């Protein structure tokens, strides 16, 4: 029975807290959020003690593991504090927006032999797991090309964007992680193009809303990522893995398999699940369970702090490539 | 918080017990099974008190509702006992294999104003619910034809078949209920054809393995059901509802959306979910929740004992039609 | 080089004339239509001599084969005249609306050893041919159940219906032929239900617009047919063949594979091809070519006059069953 | 009635000759091929006069239009000779492998006001036409991203590759043309990555077998192309166009819509059409017809010599980018 504290009672913290509470082999012990009554409200619903002081929660002896779902700029401090307090950590992405800080944090985690898992939820989607399993089983031979399509239903507010680190570090970072997950090799070169097709005013904050990135690994496998901050048809998440002996694809999820025929449309499928909380509900559940199982078994973490750092590095390379028009060595 | 006892710790009882245990607004209080340690094993896993005496469990004051998942020939007695003990009841189908006994039971339940829900799980599948919602919303206008395809992955053992009541009462009964659910009107005429294409020896017990049934309502809407005890490709459950303004279809469920391309196949989808426990896992969960909500709200049951009787009556009519070659008035 | 005359320059005659004209191994020699300038217009477009006298065309020595696309009540006379004139015949369905006349015509054709092919175009659709080929190759083992869905985009005018012979003989007759084609065995029992869900006034002419038919063969294979005179989403033509080792399905055709995603729909496919002339354009072409090839090779006709008679007989049985509520032996 | 001569009686010349012969408003007058009896064999099958001397055919007064399907290094000379002889020209891609020669040829064609259409067949596929029509109709708003997947079933022989100009000029050139066709704007920047994942020995001839290219237009629309010389599952040709108001996709073609279910696969579709001759049979037919119609109407060519030059230029840029690791301005 893993005793868990959740730091951060916002949108993502609530997901983790609910999964901890519902997991038969875990116990939600505490929830901390510095802002108002968020932690209290959540604790009332799910159980556990509420607190406005994350540090105090890290000091509790009855906490084995900590989920960090606080704002990005607090990740490093809390992660290191948790590691030093001997807790296992499941930390939301990114580690930090600054690669130097992320590097230092990862080095410190490794020096301390800390148990840290980065919360790249998409890896834990059942389809992602099946893609990885099929590749490992040799079903498609040697991987040649990976294609990742990743579009959000609508852009976040400007206030969010200003502190987001930019589209590559905030949004595409998930796709960089999936690229590494599916390629099975480390990308060594990044080429990117970036546009402002939704909001030209993003120039004011040096950000973009529509990007394409190509990656290449040492053995010259290739990966393409396309990302857009808005798609009128909803949250679009598709993967294609093409290899010497076949191809694998996965598709978006929908509420049901019902198809509609009318005078206007034939064979129209249901709308896509709204956004990441709905689309990846299963993935978040599995992610928590795999964290729990790894911690309790003392097994290697399914995703490490170093994985978090690598995705951030690819994001930095993509930005540099988009700005300079040159392929950037990772 | 609904306090629930589950009678029967077999395959179906385990499902209900697990759903009761996982439901935040219900509490699994007791599990009864007359055979060996089944109830004890299940209670150890899910909580609640184990018993080998269903009657004793019905006598408990701390039980508000009872789920009956015992063998068919015990349904009526337990259902009536539970109603008389003032418990709400979720009873597995069929009420009984004998229409006269079923009629008497339904009459008694109604006389006692008992709260009984029949467990026709397929109605609670998200796709079934969406079909019903879309029909009610007028999306396809007036319903004209319903097509139900229903095939099991493999036939049950002979020993089971001998006490099953025959394919119409044991297997097609689910489809009769879905026909009523989707037609939105009571069938008044039944025409059936029945064959032994898998096992000619079923003639020894007067049973069939492959059947087709057509139903007609008073306003002359039509429904076709095809049923087979075995399909090499798995558990096949499809619905089509055709109306004056459109058509709705639903498809089988699969573990993920992954599609495969190789030198042998292109765009092949994942295998079907194995059988009803997997295919209707969500439906069983929703069924229990809707039972719980109806009981606690004092609202009408989503499926009544009388619904159970109607499906059985259609099964009897189908058998008569198959044997006589005549359309049978319900 | 087969020298062909086409009798009838209406909708269906034009199709056959165009296919004859475009076939490199056939030559369109003559077109006959008693009404006005229809034959002349068509001959101007496609070549060949125009005539208002079918008998005169049958007398031409330079005609090897005749396609009969005239009104139904002229089929028998023209077919027999053509056979007596030593011509090979491709005759539109049905032979006649009266089974006695059809029986007599078939007997006479057989006595004369006439070369007559019935134009059941659906058999020649590439998908139908692939279904038959796959069944013959044993891909699905023993056929158990066939499901045929057949819906027209809109009902024909009342004037047409009054001389159509009724839905079973006019529309479902195609499905009866496909049932025989796919079952691979002769149906011996017919059960039918018939409704007037589009136009209750059809009662005045004893016709129906929405029907369901179940067929059974001697070895007790089963077939279900559902038919409706109108479907708002277009001309719907689907087959499913379920066997001991698998299942085959085919789907409707569309102009292209383009799929659309918008704020209103996701993954919506293109509308169905409008009606039989578009949907079965390939089938008509193949039908003519197989007729030509069989005639020139002296090989058995792919569909015989007797096949035409059998489909009509099933239509009659279905009507009797719908009216009496009894299974009818064929 | 357009009188047509076809130069080249190889694989592609045969396609064009057959389409000219089958077109009711064209007449195949002559076929020229310098090698052996190829032209004679084809003329015997399709009609027209055979010749081993293309120049002699260009001199014929009874030829209005010429289709050039000869080896690439003869394209420029024949194109210019035909233009000077006053013939309309449908020329296979590419104009030439050398951009300077292509530039000079295009300049000369334009100076002479020559009527030249480049044979980029994919634009004339019904799905491509529908994509373009839907974009023009505003169905998806402003185009943001285009994704093109283009994989051949198997690599050509080494002897072919040595004179092919390399994958970008030989294979991807089709995709560059489709990128321009679908983007609706001229690409101004090219980024490419190239690998040898099938055959490392391609290094000997400076070629690649697996490439990814990203394009950007002046208004910063984006396009991704992925190309591979081999795919075990067959000839893969897919397009996706993502815009501000929706998305369009098209899919590969298959012989029929039949889907298979067995103990091994469920819902498996038919194999892809083998290669470009089969996949684009309709496109070649439409291409010829649109050429014919434009010539006879004196209307602008649907694809010009300059379009051919632009695609070649993009191929050159892609190669340069792949070799230098820099985005290349077009």
Question: Using the beta-carbon criterion (under 8 Å), do A268 and C266 form an inter-chain contact?
Answer: yes
**Six-digit token string for C211:** 């029907």
Of C254, C263, C269, the CB nearest to A233: C263
What Cα–Cα distance (Å) separates residue C154 from each residue in C228, C236, C274, D229?
9, 11, 10, 48
**Closest chain B residue by Cα to residue A125:** B256
Residue pLDDT, tens place only, D101-140? 999 999 999 999 999 999 999 999 999 999 999 999 999 9
| Token duo for residue C127 | 């998908």
**Selection from A48, A54, A1 nearest residue A25 by Cα:** A1
Of A134, A245, A253, Cβ closest to residue B257: A253
- Is the domain of C142 the same as that of C201? yes
Chain A residues with beta carbon closer than 8 angstroms to that of D146? none
- Residues 6 or more apart whose CB falls under 8 angstroms from that of D323 comprise none
Cα angle: A255, vertex A256, A259; to 5 degrees: 125
Contacts of B186 (CB under 8 A, 6+ apart): B180, B217, B218, B310, B330
- Which residue among A263, A268, A270 places its CB closest to the CB of C232? A263
Instruction: Find the CATH number of the domain harbouring C283.
Output: 3.30.360.10
For position D81, which CATH number holds? 3.40.50.720
Size of chain D, expressed as the number of residues it contains = 330
- Region of poorest pLDDT, from B265-274, D145-154, D203-212: B265-274
How far D24 CA lies from chain C's nearest CA (Å)? 9
Considering just the CA atoms, what is the radius of gyration of chain A in Å?
A: 20
Task: Compute chain C's Rg from CA coordinates.
Answer: 20
Domain extent at residue C168: 123-329
Say if residues D174 and D120 touch (Cβ distance below 8 Å): yes
pLDDT at C219: 96
pLDDT tens-digit readout, C148-177: 999 999 999 999 999 999 999 999 999 999
Average pLDDT over residues B224-247: 98
- Cβ atoms of B7 and B32 within 8 Å: the answer is yes
Using CB atoms within 10 A of its CB, is residue A124 exposed (0-12), middle (13-18) or buried (19+)?
buried
Q: pLDDT digits over C211-248, tens only?
A: 999 999 999 999 999 999 999 999 999 999 999 999 99
pLDDT digits (tens, 9 = 90+) for A186-239: 999 999 999 999 999 999 999 999 999 999 999 999 999 999 999 999 999 999
Task: Indicate whether C135 and C54 sit together in one domain.
Answer: no
In a domain, B295, yes or no: no
Beta carbons of B91 and B308 less than 8 angstroms apart: yes
By residue count, chain B amounts to 330
Residue B298 lies in a domain: no
ipTM of the complex: 0.95
On chain A, the residues whose CB falls within 8 A of the CB of B22 are 22
Give the closest-approach CA distance of D190 to chain C in angstroms: 28
Q: Are strands C2-7 and C26-32 parallel, antiparallel or unpaired?
A: parallel
CA-wise closest residue to A189 among A219, A223, A216: A216
B166 and B313 fall within a common domain = yes
pLDDT category of residue D34 using cuts at 50, 70 and 90: confident
Enter the tokens of residue B117: 């829900």
pLDDT at B35 over 90: no
CA distance C144 to B277: 26
Look up residue A100 and give its two tokens. 């130097």
Here the tokens at position D258 are: 């039949």
D320 CB neighbour count, 10 Å cutoff: 15
Q: How many domains does chain D have?
A: 2
Partner-chain contact A270 C271, CB within 8 Å:
no
Is residue D19 within a helix (H) or strand (E), and if so which, with residue range?
A: helix D11-22
Strand partners, C304: C117
Confidence of residue C108 (pLDDT cuts 50, 70, 90): very high
Tokens of A181: 């997950």
D36: left (phi over 0), alpha (psi -120 to 50) or beta: left
DSSP string of A162-214, one letter each residue: HTS--HHHHTHHHHHHHHHHHHSS-EEEEEEEEE-SS-GGGGGGT--SEEEEE
Categorize the per-residue pLDDT at C35 as very low, low, confident or very high, splitting at 50, 70 and 90.
confident
What is the predicted pLDDT for the residue at B34? 87
In sequence order, the 6+-apart residues with CB closer than 8 A to the CB of A199 are A155, A209
Are D202 and D108 within one domain? no
3-state secondary structure of B38: helix
Residues D222 and D319 both lie in one domain = yes
Torsional class of D290: left (φ above 0), alpha (ψ -120 to 50), beta (otherwise): alpha
Same domain, C276 and C189: yes
Extended strands (E) in B107-245: 116-119, 143-151, 187-195, 210-217, 222-228, 236-243
Would you say A49 and A43 are in contact if contact means Cβ atoms under 8 Å apart? yes
Give the pLDDT mean for B55-82. 96
Residues whose CB falls within 8 Å of the CB of residue D311, separated by 6 or more in sequence, listed in order:
D93, D94, D120, D173, D174, D176, D177, D180
Q: Is residue A297 part of a domain?
A: no
D317 and D198 in a common domain? yes
Residue B286 in any domain: the answer is: no
Closest CA to B198 of C222, C245, C244: C244
DSSP 3-state assignment of A75? helix
Taking the CA of residue C309 as centre, how many other CA atoms within 13 Å lie in the half-sphere pointing to its CB? 17
Compare all CA atoms of chain B with the CA of D232 and give the residue at the minimum distance: B263
Of B127, B245, B263, the CB nearest to A256: B127
Question: In this complex, do B268 and D263 lie within 8 Å of one another by their Cβ atoms?
Answer: no
* Angle between the N-to-C axes of helices D75-84 and D99-111, in degrees from 0 to 180, rounded to the nearest 10: 10
Domain boundary among C114, C133, C153: C114
**C256–D130 CB contact, under 8 Å:** yes
Contact D234 B266 (CB under 8 A): yes
Does a structural domain hold residue D288? no
Percent of chain A with pLDDT over 90: 98
The answer to the question of residue A229 being in a domain is: yes
Q: Is the preceding peptide bond at C94 cis, omega within 30 degrees of 0?
A: yes
Contact C253, C239 (CB under 8 A): no
pLDDT at A109 over 90: yes
Q: What angle do CA B224, B227, B230 make, to 5 degrees?
A: 160
Do B52 and B137 belong together in one domain? no
Query: Which has the closest alpha carbon to D75: D55, D95, D101?
Result: D95
**Which residue's entry shows tokens 């002229």?**
C74
Of the candidates B78, B77, B80, the residue with the CA atom closest to the CA atom of residue B68: B78
Is A247 within 8 Å of B255 when comparing Cβ atoms?
Answer: no
- At residue C227, the pLDDT reads 98
Mean pLDDT within D286-301: 97
Q: Tell me how far CA of residue B17 lies from CA of B50, B285, B288, C238, D226, in angstroms.
A: 12, 10, 10, 42, 52
Residues C225, C176: contact at Cβ < 8 Å? yes
Q: In Å, what is the CA distance from D292 to each residue of D25, D31, D49, D67, D289?
A: 8, 17, 20, 11, 5
Contact C189 B193 (CB under 8 A): yes
Pairwise CB contact (< 8 Å): D265 & B265: yes
> Which of B185, D110, C261, B208 is CA-nearest to residue A268?
C261
Question: Do residue B30 and residue B52 come from a single domain?
Answer: yes
pLDDT of residue B10: 93
Per-residue pLDDT at B45: 92
Q: A269 near C266, Cβ under 8 Å?
A: yes
Give the whole-angstrom CA distance, residue C321 versus residue C213: 9
State the pLDDT at residue A138: 98
Instruction: Chain B: give the shortest CA distance to residue A90, in Å.
Output: 25
Same-domain pairing of B193 and B268: yes
Residues A8 and A133 in one domain: no
Domain presence at residue A151: yes
DSSP 8-state secondary structure symbol assigned to residue B73: G
Contacts of D247 in chain C (CB under 8 A): 260-262
Which of D114, D140, D174 delimits the end of a domain? D114
Distance separating alpha carbons of residues C191 and C174, to the nearest angstrom: 17
pLDDT-derived band at A36 (thresholds 50, 70, 90) equals confident
Last residue of a domain, one of A63, A89, A114: A114
- Distance in Å, alpha carbon of A197 to nearest chain C alpha carbon: 18
The answer on pLDDT for A34 being more than 90 is: no
Phi, then psi, of D223 in degrees rounded to 5? -140, 135
Query: pLDDT tens across B111-146, in order?
Result: 999 999 999 999 999 999 999 999 999 999 999 999
Of D195, D233, D236, the CB nearest to A222: D195
Interface of chain D toward chain C, CB-CB under 8 angstroms: 22, 126-127, 130-131, 134, 139-140, 245-253, 255-263, 270
Inter-chain CB proximity B262 and A246 less than 8 Å: yes
**What's the residue count for chain A?**
330
Give me the helices (H) in chain A, please.
Answer: 11-22, 38-46, 54-58, 75-84, 99-111, 126-136, 158-162, 167-170, 172-183, 276-279, 281-297, 305-324
Rounded mean pLDDT, A231-253: 97
Closest CB to B258 among A250, A255, A270: A250
* Residues of D with Cβ-Cβ distance to A326 under 8 angstroms: 325-327
Judge contact between C252 and C236, C-beta under 8 A. Answer: yes
Is residue B187 domain-resident? yes
B89, B79 Cβ separation under 8 angstroms: yes
Q: Is the pLDDT of residue C146 over 90?
A: yes
Do D52 and D180 fall into the same domain? Answer: no
Q: In which order are the strands placed within the sheet that holds D222-228? A: C268-269, C259-261, D246-250, D236-243, D143-151, D222-228, D210-217, D187-195, D328-329
């Amino acid at each position: 029975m893993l005793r868990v504290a959740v730091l951060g009672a916002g949108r993502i913290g609530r997901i983790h807290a609910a999964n901890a509470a519902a997991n038969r082999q875990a116990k939600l012990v505490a929830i901390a959020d510095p802002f108002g009554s968020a932690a209290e409200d959540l604790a009332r619903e799910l159980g556990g003690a509420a607190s406005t002081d994350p540090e105090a929660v890290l000091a509790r002896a009855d906490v084995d593991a900590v989920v960090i779902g606080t704002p990005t700029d607090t990740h490093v401090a809390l992660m290191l504090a948790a590691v030093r307090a001997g807790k296992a950590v499941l930390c939301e992405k990114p580690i930090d927006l600054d690669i130097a800080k992320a590097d230092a944090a990862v080095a410190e985690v490794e020096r301390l032999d800390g148990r840290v898992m980065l919360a790249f939820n998409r890896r834990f989607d059942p389809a992602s797991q099946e893609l990885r399993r099929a590749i490992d089983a040799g079903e498609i031979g040697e991987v040649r090309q990976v294609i990742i399509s990743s579009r959000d239903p609508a852009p976040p507010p400007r206030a969010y964007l200003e502190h987001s680190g930019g589209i590559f570090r905030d949004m595409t970072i998930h796709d960089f992680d999936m690229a590494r997950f599916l390629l099975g090799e480390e990308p060594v070169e990044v080429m990117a193009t970036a546009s402002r097709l939704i909001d030209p005013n993003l120039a004011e904050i040096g950000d973009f809303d529509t990007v394409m990135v190509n990656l290449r690994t040492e053995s010259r496998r290739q990966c393409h990522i396309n990302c857009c901050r808005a798609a009128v048809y909803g949250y679009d998440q598709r993967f294609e893995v093409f290899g010497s002996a076949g191809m694998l694809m996965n598709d978006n999820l929908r509420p049901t398999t019902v198809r509609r025929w009318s005078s206007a449309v034939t064979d129209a499928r249901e709308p896509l699940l709204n956004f990441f909380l709905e689309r990846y509900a299963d993935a978040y559940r599995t992610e928590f369970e795999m964290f729990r199982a790894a911690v309790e078994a003392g097994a290697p973490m399914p995703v490490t702090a170093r994985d978090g750092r690598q995705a951030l590095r690819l994001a930095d390379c993509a930005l540099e490539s988009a700005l300079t028009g040159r392929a950037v060595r990772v």
